[in-house]
Amino acid sequence: MNQEKPSLNPHPLSEYVAWAGTRNREPILNVLKEKLPKESGVILEIASGSGMHINYFAPHFKHLLFQPSDYDTEVFDNIKNISEELANDNVYDPLYIDLTKPKTWVNLDKKNAYSAIFCINIFHVAPIYIADGMMECTAELLNENGFLLIYGPFKVDGAFNSESNKWFNKILHSTGAPGWGLKDIAYLKKVAEPYNLKLQETIDMPSNNFFLIFARK
């Protein structure tokens, strides 16, 4: 029997986030199996939250190292506890990265260190201006052949790709939380340009979500 959908709550340790994360992790994993490097490398997750995604994916890629990160340091213990419980020896301790504060990644001394960066279900529950931080951080931290993977629901050229996403957007706006709502893929493409990043591939995902893959031009 499917778990009943909890009330919308974006807190990384909420029942809603746990429900949503379990629901979409298999399709996401399938894309990562196709796209992540087949040789060694280090993979950064932006906004790891509870750590459930990175700790679920890591055992499937023993040849890769995974670096969780978040702006909320209160979730760090949860990320580390899950890693320890699952004996994930290829998951590092989390880093503090705030996409609104460039100093949090410029001072990491990890320039060009990552083969890939991924971010899951963040943009619809965050202000759009984090897109600039995402692209700047990506340009700073990816290696020459690296790429950025962004998963979530988005508008396409100002339009919703389904009635369910239109409804979801209305629910997000009804909360009154600043910046909540589906963002447009066209805007992300525009923000990426100054950082020499280009949308290379758009992958349709279940439940009217997308995987967006950005890489250097």
Q: What is the pLDDT of residues 116-142, one digit of tens each?
A: 999 999 999 899 999 999 999 999 999
Whole-angstrom distance, CA of residue 23 vs CA of residue 21: 5
- At the top level of CATH, the class of 15-216 is alpha beta
Helix (H, G, I), strand (E, B) or coil at 5: coil
Amino acid at 160: F
**Cα–Cα distance list, 24 to 21, 30, 53, 208, 210 (Å):** 6, 11, 10, 11, 11
Q: What is the pTM of this model?
A: 0.91
Q: What is the pLDDT of residues 139-167, one digit of tens each?
A: 999 999 999 999 999 999 999 999 999 99
Whole-angstrom distance, CA of residue 188 vs CA of residue 155: 11
Buried b or exposed e, range 79-107, using 16+ CB within 10 angstroms: bbebbeeeebeebbebbebbbeeeebbee
Residue 169 vs residue 5, higher pLDDT: 169
Q: What is the pLDDT of residues 80-99, one digit of tens each?
A: 999 999 999 999 999 999 99
